Amino acid sequence: MSKAKVLIVDDEPFNIDVLEQALDGTEYQVVTASNGQEAWEKIQSEQPDLILLDLMMPVMDGFAVLAKVKENSMLRDIPIIIVSAENDSKSVVKGIKQGAEDYLTKPVDTAQFLKKVKEFLG
């Protein structure tokens, strides 16, 4: 059986590193993207099993990526966890209404983060 693939999308290399380190030593394969456009391309080519999506990014923001994924019949079932510094209830509600399965705020609590990933990937 192949490893579950996790796509980490964030425009800050430090944030990608934090999540990659949290997943280091787990059974998951990690793929990264540094903006929304790159994320969209990787979602189509890599078909990840889970997407960890930042909201505030250049080129295409996380809400646009979320909308594109959920509009696509081949991709809409990929679970998306928003991981953002935006912790106001308006952003949380908008993300969930657009189809995100969950919402974590930065800085991420590693134990909570790994628990959420495991919930979606087993």
Per-residue pLDDT tens digits for 44-100: 999 999 999 999 998 899 999 999 999 999 999 999 999 998 777 888 899 999 999
- pLDDT confidence tier of residue 2, bands split at 50, 70 and 90: confident
Q: What share of the chain has pLDDT > 90, as a percent?
A: 84
88: which 2 tokens? 């106001």
Domain layout of the chain by residue ranges: 5-121
Out of 3.40.50.300, 3.40.50.150, 3.30.365.10, 3.40.50.2300, the CATH code matching 5-121 is: 3.40.50.2300
- pLDDT confidence tier of residue 113, bands split at 50, 70 and 90: very high
Q: pTM for the complete prediction?
A: 0.95
Strands across the sheet containing 50-53: 29-33, 5-9, 50-53, 80-84, 102-105
- pLDDT confidence tier of residue 23, bands split at 50, 70 and 90: very high
Predicted pLDDT at 1: 57
Cβ density class 4-41: b for 16+ within 10 Å, e for less: bbbbbbbbeeebbebbeebbeeeebebbbbbbbebbbe
Instruction: Name the residue among 6, 20, 27 with its Cα closest to residue 108.
Output: 20
Q: What H or E segment, with its residue span, contains residue 83?
A: strand 80-84
Predicted pLDDT at 39: 98
